[in-house]
Amino acid sequence: DQQVKQNSPSLSVQEGRISILNCDYTNSMFDYFLWYKKYPAEGPTFLISISSIKDKNEDGRFTVFLNKSAKHLSLHIVPSQPGDSAVYFCAARGTNAGKSTFGDGTTLTVKP
């Protein structure tokens, strides 16, 4: 049973437009959510996070929205840049921390 799902394996957008990456989860014990970005041949790097007590967190061009009732979160990138082309992973953790559970990732391609 996959507890964190990213249903879109890939997304392609034009430079300057908005990129929206989606993530759904099933475990109601998750209360902290993180997005990581991964370039080829590198490990994932942290991008932005949100606690379950919030519904929005913004950092520059990146905004994460959380809808707890729907168990859904999304990452918005505005404006998208070619350097944003990477694999984006959604991850979730519970209060007691320990392991993070990751989705399968969404490959974002931003076309110049």
Partner 1 sequence: GAGVSQSPSNKVTEKGKDVELRCDPISGHTALYWYRQSLGQGLEFLIYFQGNSAPDKSGLPSDRFSAERTGGSVSTLTIQRTQQEDSAVYLCASSYAGTGNEKLFFGSGTQLSVL
102 forms part of the interface with partner 1 (CB under 8 A): yes
- Shortest distance, position 110 Cβ to partner 1, whole Å: 21
CB nearer partner 1, residue 98 or residue 112: 98
Q: Is 12 left (phi over 0), alpha (psi -120 to 50) or beta?
A: beta
d(CA 47, CA 106): 14
Site for partner 1 in 21-80 (CB under 8 A): 31-32, 34, 36, 41-46, 49, 51
d(CA 105, CA 63): 17
85 forms part of the interface with partner 1 (CB under 8 A): no
Q: Which of 68, 72, 76, 93 binds partner 1 (CB under 8 A)?
A: 93
